[in-house]
Amino acid sequence: MTPGKLNIDLYAFASFTLPLVWTAAGLPVDLTGWKARMQIRERTSSATPVIDLDNGLKGGIEITAPLTGAINIKITDEQTGLLTIKAGVHDIVLESPGGDSHRILEGTVTIHPGVTKP
């Protein structure tokens, strides 16, 4: 399955929320029991992500309505305020209860510096 493309703009010291619905053949995918991960890195080859989210202990991702494939991604204002890169790449991977991984979305990330800081 080819992942969707989405380029993201993050603004330093501002929260970012991305609601998603994953569908296959026009129908929502039942995400009951699935795991979700998202990472942002400066480059695909970067050893360490600058943002690392999941629907487990790391947090930042919630499967809000499993039966309808609804997911919510949340990057906090504190997280965007710590970013020191100007651009990067991201992807979102969902893992089924059986262990199959599906990259559902990928793209570039542009980070816009902030003037007003907490």
Q: Could you read off the pLDDT of 73-92 as tens digits, one per residue?
A: 999 999 999 999 999 999 99
Backbone angles phi, psi at 78, to 5 degrees: -65, -40
Q: Cα(81)–Cα(12) distance, rounded to whole angstroms?
A: 5
10-36 residue pLDDT tens: 999 999 999 999 999 999 999 999 999
Predicted TM-score of the model (pTM)? 0.94
Question: Domain segments of the chain: what residues?
Answer: 4-112
Q: Cα(64)–Cα(69) distance, rounded to whole angstroms?
A: 8
Class at the top of the CATH hierarchy for domain 4-112: mainly beta
